[in-house]
Structure 1
Amino acid sequence: MNTSVSASWVEKAWQQGASRTIQNAKRIKDTFPHTSVQGMYDSNDPEWWTAGFWPGLLWLVHRDAPESEAAAELRRIADSCERQLEDCLRDPDSVDHDLGFIWLLSGIASYRQMGSEEGRRRGMLAANLLAARFHVRGEFIRAWNFSSSTMDTRGVAIIDSMMNLPLLYWASEQSGDPRFRWLAEAHADTVAREFVRADGSICHVVEFDPYTGQKLREHGGQGHAPGSAWARGTAWALHGFALSFRYTGEARYLETAERAADFFLAMLGEDIVPVWDFRAPTEHRAAWDSSAAAIAASGLLELAKLSPRGQIYAAAGERIVRGLYEHFSAGKSAAEEGLIMKGTVHYPEGRGINVPIIYGDYFYMEALAKLRGSEGLF
């Protein structure tokens, strides 16, 4: 337990979230939830990018009490999820840049906690597939496979990618092969240059020429418009660049993480949960995103261990997590499976507005784990 943090509320929040996760596992089992609809999590295909967050949540709770009776069932469910996820690795159309989100929280978590050689093998396979998405001329990792009428996705990268780079850093450590790290650093440098604006705000989607690799344009993506500041994208950036600094020790990544963090906190002000886009016009400010708050809070707690301004980031991260617990958690309500309320998936498309989201739940519990003195799974 981190003695600088009040043990009372942190422990209550953790135990509440862990108990809810154990209870949810009895119904959700080895399916892949994304959003809570009328109090119950839905089920998505294992190919969907969020498929790793449920096993990741199970592994977080499992790690806390690995010898408990409940842990054995959580482990069984997570293992079954992992086996389903391996099938996706055999289908080129199912593989995209989100392999880190999926495999750091499933197979690699299993390897780290249980010594699973199958988890390691799958993680290394995923890392090789992620490395294969690197665009040599543009020095970025291609995001998506699908075609689009608004952009040429052969040359598209998105800010979420920063959270997937730890898969490549891990693969370099495991294999002793520096190429994985080199690719990750090249991509991170491109993102820092092309996505992060002078004021610390973040672009969600950048389109590059698929042949020359030159930047063509920004897209609003899940933000309001080009030039806006999608809250979750800012959180991905501050957290992702902090992780890149942790793995590499390259000071330029720390500076970029701090710029994104400072922008996020300035825009958040005294609030706990940000509006879905910091620059959304007045008529579009009725949607919030607790998942952005949870991702940012966990990232701030990561940054607190790395930055000379660590005390500022630690205090900010703790304030957000406590606010999520006290004002946005579902509490002990049996009518809601989600852990935290008021998340927004994709406001421009009208999907998942002000609902619990599985990655919000994961990062909320990851932040609590950090306040208890543990590490995240990335």
Structure 2
Amino acid sequence: MKLLFASVLICLASCQNLSKNKNSTVDSKVTAKLSSFDLNKEIKNCEAQLNQAVPKLTDLSKHPRLIETNETEWKEISNGRLVWTSGFYPGILWYMYDLTKEEKWKAEAIKRTEVFEDFKTINEHHDIGFMMFPAYGNGYIFGDKKEYKDILLTSAESLASRFNPKVGTIRSWSNKMHPRWQQHITIIDNMLNLELLFWAAKNGGSKEFYDIAVKHAETTMENHFRPDYTSWHVIEYDSITGKVLNRHTKQGYADDSRWSRGQAWGIYGYTMVYRETGDKKFLEFAEKLTDKYLELLPEDYIPHWDFDVPNLENEERDASAAAIVASCLLELSTLVEDKMNQERYYNAAMRMMESLSSEQYSGVGKTDSFLVHSTGAKSLGHEIDVALIYADYYYIEALDRLQKMAHSK
């Protein structure tokens, strides 16, 4: 109950303070509908969902990826070197351990993490960050598994090997996998992988890891965003000159449309880069990306899968994008100095969390997942209106951040 009361008090204090400020730029869609969020209840709901799902997920050679529309159980896929989503399930288990301190979750997390050790040498793509940090990084941080350090450092070295200094970014995909592009490809998702490099640079790895991460963030900031601070998905660079050749999409509606999860990756990425560097230019950029994203949201703060798709109101939502941004804005609210923006970003995050935990988007009583109504790649014809493992990951990360914020209060 203490966590619930703390969260309610934070919400109420924020709303009261903002309502007194006539010059507040807080979106009325947030303050008008913000109410209490039962953190304890949501943690227990997630634990109940895991208690329901974990006994069914016994094949260590596979991991849960999605729950198809109108299905109730996770579809598992093989833990291949090219499968970017494999680290999210063990990451979820580590967060549940951190939230509850129940040893059974630690044991399950260790079991599901340590099957990936051989992935530390992946250099075929950039997703080693997504694959290794939620699993081994969270295990090191929450589970005090100090033996994971060398695995993470090797993983960071593998990721850094894809950096092209002539371009200034880490190469995301191979051209063989994505023949539409012939040279150096970087996608906005790659911003999330930088956290592995920053962690490694602080924990015994090469200082070059830090420099690569900063340069990638700077180059991406320069080339990956439109004047209105929305993101393209895919940038193709000339491998020799570093010149931008094409700005395209893979998962958005069209090359020049605004893919909502791409914007989410950018917001999260630049918030994290500011946390790691302290460089205000990254904080200011994260705020600009956030403000544009909030401007584009529908009433319930869960975006459609692309902001520019025709017949927008009839298109599927993407709860995964909402979970990513909700988690990120909780952190961003603690990093900005202006009190009005602290409250504005916190309240926006809570509005997203309320929607995600509502009957509309919660998986409780419907599936084995925390959330439903995510869209992975409608433009490619799959993962349309489904549950996605990374939506659950960022949702439970948000719960973990809220618990820490409540305790700090």
Q: Does TM, scored on the shorter chain, surpass 0.5?
A: yes
Partner in structure 1 of residue 26 of structure 2: none
Asked if 1:114 corresponds to 2:149, the answer is no
Question: What's the secondary structure of 2:209's corresponding residue?
Answer: helix
Partner in structure 1 of residue 96 of structure 2: 61
Matched ranges for 1:210-359 at <5 A: 210-282=239-311, 285-307=314-336, 308=338, 309-333=341-365, 335-359=366-390
Partner in structure 1 of residue 73 of structure 2: 40
1:362 corresponds, among 393, 399, 404, to: 393
Shift of 1:174: 0.3
**Residue 321 of structure 1 aligns to which amino acid in structure 2?**
M
Q: 1:189 to 1:356 in 2, by over 3 A?
A: same
Question: What's the secondary structure of 1:33's corresponding residue?
Answer: strand
Shift of 1:136: 1.0
> RMSD value over aligned CA atoms?
1.9
Shift of 1:81: 2.8
Structure 2 contact 175–181 (Cα < 8 Å) conserved? no
Structure 1 contact 275–285 (Cα < 8 Å) conserved? no
Shift of 1:269: 3.9
Matched ranges for 1:166-245 at <5 A: 166-175=195-204, 177-245=206-274
Shift of 1:161: 0.9
Structure 1 contact 203–220 (Cα < 8 Å) conserved? yes
Structure 2 contact 188–262 (Cα < 8 Å) conserved? yes
Shift of 1:283: 7.2
CA distance in 1, matches of 2:314, 2:163: 36
Partner in structure 1 of residue 180 of structure 2: 150
Partner in structure 1 of residue 21 of structure 2: none
Partner in structure 2 of residue 51 of structure 1: 86
Q: Deviations over 1:49-69 (max 9, x none)?
A: 011110010000011222x3x
Shift of 1:75: 2.7
Shift of 1:374: 5.6
Q: 1:163 to 1:92 in 2, by over 3 A?
A: closer
CA distance in 2, matches of 1:107, 1:374: 24
Question: What's the secondary structure of 1:129's corresponding residue?
Answer: helix
Shift of 1:142: 0.4
CA distance in 1, matches of 2:129, 2:179: 27
Shift of 1:92: 4.4
Q: Deviations over 1:187-212 (max 9, x none)?
A: 00011111122211111110001222
Asked if 1:373 corresponds to 2:373, the answer is no
Structure 1 contact 276–285 (Cα < 8 Å) conserved? no
Identity %: 31
Q: 1:325 to 1:91 in 2, by over 3 A?
A: closer
Q: Deviations over 1:262-299 (max 9, x none)?
A: 11110004233111000111279522101011111111
Q: 1:312 to 1:272 in 2, by over 3 A?
A: same
Q: Which moved further from structure 2: 335-344 or 290-299?
A: 335-344
CA distance in 2, matches of 1:43, 1:212: 42
Partner in structure 1 of residue 127 of structure 2: 98
Between the two proteins, the alignment pairs up a number of residues equal to 367
Q: 1:285 to 1:150 in 2, by over 3 A?
A: farther
Gaps of 5+ in 1: none
CA distance in 1, matches of 2:187, 2:108: 31
Q: Deviations over 1:62-101 (max 9, x none)?
A: 11222x3xx32x33332233232122334544xx211221
User: For the pair shown, which has the larger CA radius of gyration, 1 or 2?
Assistant: 2
Q: 1:120 to 1:203 in 2, by over 3 A?
A: same
Q: 1:146 to 1:83 in 2, by over 3 A?
A: farther
Shift of 1:253: 0.8
**Residue 50 of structure 1 aligns to which amino acid in structure 2?**
T
Shift of 1:331: 5.0
CA distance in 1, matches of 2:122, 2:343: 45
**Residue 260 of structure 2 aligns to which amino acid in structure 1?**
A
CA distance in 1, matches of 2:211, 2:357: 39
Q: 1:193 to 1:92 in 2, by over 3 A?
A: closer
CA distance in 2, matches of 1:7, 1:112: 30
CA distance in 2, matches of 1:143, 1:8: 38
CA distance in 2, matches of 1:339, 1:203: 29
Q: Deviations over 1:238-266 (max 9, x none)?
A: 11100100110011111111111111110
Partner in structure 2 of residue 89 of structure 1: 120
Structure 2 contact 363–372 (Cα < 8 Å) conserved? no
Asked if 1:127 corresponds to 2:156, the answer is yes
